[in-house]
Structure formats: structure tokens, C-alpha cells
Chains A and B, each alone.
Chain A
Amino acid sequence: MPKVDVAGNVTLFAQNKGFFCGEAIAEMARNGYPDPSNRFFYTQDDLRNNIVAHDSTAPGDLNQWNTDPQGLCDCLQSLSAEPVNWVEFPTISRDDAQMFLQQSIQSTQFPAGVLIRAGEHWVLVVGYETEVDETGKENLKFIHFYDPEPVGIGTDRTIRASTWSGSRYFVKVKTSGTWEGKFVVVGQSPQ
């Protein structure tokens, strides 16, 4: 059963405030690069300003989000240098989003931010496990992620694939605007 997990590189941080999940994701991600010499800690308050400065200003997105995908992605890239390459991956295809997520983590060893619960909440995926069925097809078995909730506590969660792909977790964004109807991952461009 192929298993990819970068949790050993990433420290779980809880969100400091009820609406700081994006800031906590950025904090964990920036402090969890595969190269230990390139791990930097930024406070969530610092990251808040950076995210606000990069959040979408498109008319349909204004005031809809605390941290939108562009804000998270551009915040992380602004704190990084090439060859680090944070990208947004919004797509209407769950399979494409899941494939991007797995390839991103597997090929770069960076964690990836994912919007769950129709866009309400960010989590940081740090690993996954697959299994091969009788036809030889490789299927997702578990997904491993850090959740910055509860506030001040945080949680290390491993969810079975059918729950992750069900109607409540990795589902299309319902928020109107740029990302509506899309699955959203913010990760490293796979190599």
C-alpha cells in the first residue's frame, strides 16, 4: 500500500482566532518546507496582513472570504523564492483535484492547503495512503491532514477515503464568485 506522508516536516499549529484558519495553514506550510534550512516561522497576525493584501478584490469575491485561495497562495509565494512555486488549483473535477493534491505532495514533499466543507474551512494535507484493487487500479484509502481547529488546540486527523470524498468534506466550493463550483487545492506545482 503506497503511503506518502510529510507530517514529520510539519508542526501542527492551532488557529489563534475563530477566523484564522487560513493564517494557521500558512504558518504550518511555511514552517514545513522539506529543506529544514528553508523553514520559517511567521506569526498568524503577520500572515493575516499578508493574506489580506493578496486576497481577491474581484467584485464577486469581496467580503466573501476570510482567506481565499488567491490570498493563501500569493501570501506563501511572497514569503518564498524559486524554485518554490505555490499554485492555486481550482477545478470542477474531483479526480483532477485529488490527483493534483497527491502528485504535489508526492513529488515535492510539500504539504498542501485544501478547502473542505464547501469552502468554509482550510486544512493542510500532509499525507495519504492508497491501495491497489483487484483490477490493478490504485485507489485512495486514507487522507492525513492537520486541522487548525479547535482554536488554540488543533487536530491531527486521518480520514478514510470514502468519508473524505463524501458529501461533507472535499466538495465543491459553494461561495459565490471566482471559486464557486470548484474543488480547490493550494500546493506546489508537481514536478
Chain B
Amino acid sequence: MRHQPTHTFLTPDAAIKAAKRAIQENGMLKWPQCAILRNPGVIPQPPMLTSEPSVEDGGDDSHSFIVPYGLKGEQSPSGVPITRLCILIDAVTGEFEEVATFGMPIAYLQREAAIRIVASALRVPEDHLPVTDASLMFQSSEITHLRVYPFWRIVVKERVYYVDQEGKLYNDIPPGKSGS
């Protein structure tokens, strides 16, 4: 079950400010795992709002901003910014939750690309696909256990599709087997 948000979220600019504050307040520039932040070419990329359903029935969804960081001008062949590190910020309070450095640079799947994958699977021209919602979500599952690696939830009319960061399409969210 999906719950409607009951809080006001930070703006993307405020999320970036919260990430910068977390870097300063926690002394992350000195952390070896955050060494990339000392590179003068590192810049924040557009924050991504992500929802996570409550683990308890009737509980509120939690929302986070993923604030990605990468090197200025570094892009994938398709023009998507390359991300090296992410800072996860509570989307309501602005509190720091996590910093994650990927083992190798990644390019996040963009909203348009996720919709294109659904349209392609349905054999419908992309601009004719009646998408009513496309948002990033995280739920611990076979798809991912990593909050900074969420998947897309694409609603077409009343049917929901999920697209992971590798572009794989799902009809539902498969539960993961223990110890995976």
C-alpha cells in the first residue's frame, strides 16, 4: 500500500545545502572514503527525491533526497552525469543519513529513459504512453537493498511497473531471499 506524503519536503536547493552542511559538520573531507570530495572539480548534481514504504502497516513512508556528486563535465555516452558519491538527506528534516561512495562511477537511469523502457515493452510510442506518475522509490527486495540505488515506479493508467537502474522491468517488487 502506498501512503500519501503528509510532510513538506525540502526543495532540491535546500537538499544540496543540507548535504554541504553534512560534509562540513561531520568533517567528511577528511574521511578516506570521501576523498573524491576534495577534488576541486567535484560538484553536486540534481538531487533525487526517493520514497521508501513503511516497514510497519499503516506507518508513514519515509522520503530522502539522494544528493549525487560527480566531476564537472563528466558524462556517460548518453549525456547523463557520472556519479561518484551520494549523500542521503532526510527530505523533511534535512538531517544527514548516509554517505555512499560507489566502487566504480555510475550513471543513474533518468526518468525519461525509464518511461522509454516501459513504452518499449508495451510497444507503445513513448509520447503516447499515458503515464500518471513516475517516481523513484526504494524497497528492500530482490531488486535492490541499497537506498542510494533506487528504482523507478511508473504508473500507466492504473497499472504499476518498476524499472531498476539497469533498465530491467518488473511487474511487482520481488521479495529477496534471506542472506542475499
- Interface-centre pick from A68, A119, A120, A149 (highest chain B CB count, 10 A): A120
Residues of A within 8 A of B45 (CB): none
Q: Answer whether residue B170 sits at the interface, using C-beta atoms and an 8 A cutoff.
A: no
Complex Cα gap A158–B144 (Å)? 18
Residues of A within 8 A of B101 (CB): 155-157
Query: Across the two chains, which residue of chain A brings its CB closest to B138?
Result: A168
Shortest distance from the beta carbon of B167 to any chain A beta carbon, whole Å: 13
Residues of B within 8 A of A21 (CB): 145, 179-180
Q: Which of A144-180 contact B (CB under 8 A)?
A: 144, 147, 149-150, 153-160, 163, 167-168, 173, 175
B145 A149 Cβ-Cβ under 8 A:
yes
B102 A120 Cβ-Cβ under 8 A:
no
Q: Answer whether residue B57 sits at the interface, using C-beta atoms and an 8 A cutoff.
A: no
Shortest distance from the beta carbon of B127 to any chain A beta carbon, whole Å: 31
Q: Answer whether residue B132 sits at the interface, using C-beta atoms and an 8 A cutoff.
A: no
Q: Which of B137-180 contact A (CB under 8 A)?
A: 140, 142, 144-146, 148-149, 165, 176-180
Q: Answer whether residue A92 sits at the interface, using C-beta atoms and an 8 A cutoff.
A: no
A117 B145 Cβ-Cβ under 8 A:
yes
Residues of A within 8 A of B145 (CB): 21, 116-117, 120-121, 147, 149
Stretch at the interface among A59-67, A74-82, A103-111: A59-67
Q: Answer whether residue A115 sits at the interface, using C-beta atoms and an 8 A cutoff.
A: yes
Stretch at the interface among B6-14, B66-74, B92-100, B118-126: B92-100
Q: Answer whether residue B106 sits at the interface, using C-beta atoms and an 8 A cutoff.
A: yes
Q: Which of A7, A14, A163, A175 contacts B32 (CB 8 A)?
A: A7
Query: Across the two chains, which residue of chain A brings its CB closest to B140?
Result: A117
Residues of B within 8 A of A160 (CB): 95-98
Interface size on A, residues (CB 8 A): 42
Q: Answer whether residue B1 sits at the interface, using C-beta atoms and an 8 A cutoff.
A: no
Residues of B within 8 A of A65 (CB): 177-179
Q: Which of B26, B149, B180 contacts A150 (CB 8 A)?
A: B149
How many A-B contacts if CB must be within 8 Å? 106
Shortest distance from the beta carbon of B36 to any chain A beta carbon, whole Å: 11
Q: Answer whether residue A22 sits at the interface, using C-beta atoms and an 8 A cutoff.
A: yes
Complex Cα gap A93–B96 (Å)? 26
A155 B148 Cβ-Cβ under 8 A:
yes
B180 A121 Cβ-Cβ under 8 A:
yes
Known: A120-B140, A168-B55. A156 touches B180 (CB 8 A): no
Shortest distance from the beta carbon of B25 to any chain A beta carbon, whole Å: 11
Complex Cα gap A14–B102 (Å)? 10
Query: Across the two chains, which residue of chain B brings its CB closest to A177?
Result: B178
B32 A159 Cβ-Cβ under 8 A:
no
Q: A66-B179, A67-B179, A160-B96 provided; 17 other pairs, C-beta below 8 A?
A: A7-B32, A7-B33, A8-B32, A14-B103, A20-B180, A64-B177, A64-B178, A69-B179, A117-B140, A120-B140, A121-B180, A147-B145, A150-B144, A155-B102, A155-B148, A163-B98, A168-B52
Residues of A within 8 A of B (CB): 7-8, 12, 14, 18-22, 64-69, 71-72, 115-117, 119-122, 142, 144, 147, 149-150, 153-160, 163, 167-168, 173, 175
12 residue pairs of the A-B complex, CB under 8 angstroms, read: A8-B32, A20-B180, A64-B177, A64-B178, A65-B178, A67-B179, A119-B178, A119-B179, A155-B148, A156-B100, A159-B97, A167-B55
